[in-house]
Amino acid sequence: MLTKSGLRKIRLQDLRHTFGSLLIQSGASLVYVKEQMGHSSIQVTVDTYGHLIPGANVCFVDRLDGVGAEEAKTGPHQAEITVESISPETC
């Protein structure tokens, strides 16, 4: 029937992966996605969907660039680097 109608075969696992991917791309937290998908650990979620987080890597690199620029202005021993300066909430 699928061939006659021109549709490709879709497995339940495909739908499940699409659901997880869409959650991540819409901004859901990894913890929420882990709970929704029923993964045994957050590591499974990160390994499967971590690459889909929009702009996550770029944001943190940009934040570190800012920290380096501050150090260049004040000197290596005077720049204050805190957890807040590279926290995910600011990205």
Give me the tens of pLDDT residue by residue for the chain, a chain 91 residues long: 878 888 888 889 999 999 999 999 888 989 999 999 999 999 999 989 888 887 666 666 677 766 555 555 555 555 454 544 445 555 5
Are residues 46 and 10 part of one domain? yes
Are residues 45 and 27 part of one domain? yes
* SS3 of residue 59 by DSSP: helix
Are residues 61 and 41 part of one domain? no
Are residues 25 and 6 part of one domain? yes
Domain of 43? 2-52
* Cα–Cα distance measured from residue 34 to residue 54, given in angstroms and rounded to the nearest whole number: 17
* Cα–Cα distance measured from residue 49 to residue 59, given in angstroms and rounded to the nearest whole number: 18
Question: What phi, psi does 77 have (nearest 5°)?
Answer: -100, -5
Kindly report whether the global pTM for this prediction surpasses the value 0.75. no
User: Where in 7-91 does DSSP place strands (E)?
Assistant: none
